[in-house]
Amino acid sequence: MSATNITWHDGHVSRDERAQLLKQKGLTIWFTGLSASGKSTVASALEQYLLHQGVNAYRLDGDNIRFGLNKNLGFSPEDRTENIRRIAEVSKLFADASTVAITSFISPYRSDRDSARQLHADAGIPFVEVFADVPVSVAEERDPKGLYKKARAGEIKEFTGISAPYEAPESPEIHIRTDQTPIAEAVAQIAKYLTENKLI
C-alpha cells in the first residue's frame, strides 16, 4: 500500500443494518471465460432477471469499464492484474452496499481471481465464480468483434486464448458450457444456485 497518513472512517450504518433496511444482502457474481464465451450475454440476462425479481443488481462489464475507470490500462500481464484488482475492489463496494454485483471479465489468471475471492472473503462478502466455458475453437468461430481474426493476423498482441494464456477455474461455484446451454437455462441455473444457497 503506497498511500500514507490515511485512516479508515466507519459510517453510522453497518452492513447488516443496511441489508435489513434494503431487504437484501449484497454479493459478487464473477463471470470468467474467453472472449466470445458468452459471459456478457449471460451476465446481462441475469441482471435483467434479478431486477425483475425485485433484486437490486448491477453489471460491471470488462469492455465498458475500460472506457472509464480502467481506460489507462492495456493488456500486459501487469495491466490485466491491475484491471482485475480494481474491479474486485469496486464489486466489493457494490456488494457492501447490498447490491448484487455482476462482473463480466475474461480475468485469465487464476491468481488474480483468487485475490478477488480473498478480498471478498476477508470482508465477509459472498463471492460466486461462474465459468462461462467454451472451447477456443467455438469462441473463435463466433468472434463477434473480429478479435480472434486480428489476433491470428498478429494485429493484436497478448490476446487471451491465442497468444496469451487463459487459466480455467479449478472449482468454480457454477460451471456452464455456454455453447451447449441456452441463455435462459444458464440464468435459471445461476438463479437456482443463488436461491438454494440463500444468497437472494
Alpha carbon distances (Å) from 186 to 4, 116, 140: 45, 23, 21
**142: exposed, middle or buried (C-beta count within 10 Å: 0-12, 13-18, 19+)?**
middle
- Do 116 and 80 contact (CB within 8 A), yes or no? no
Residue 179 CB partners (closer than 8 Å, separation 6+): 38, 134, 135, 138
Residue tagged active-site, from 14, 107, 115, 171: 107
Instruction: Provide the grid cell at 70.
Output: 480502467
Residue 37 is among the residues annotated as catalytic for this protein: no
Give the Å distances, CA to CA, from 57 to 37, 44, 51, 134.
Answer: 22, 10, 6, 26
CA distances from 7 to 93, 121, 199 (A): 18, 22, 32
- The set of catalytic residues is 107
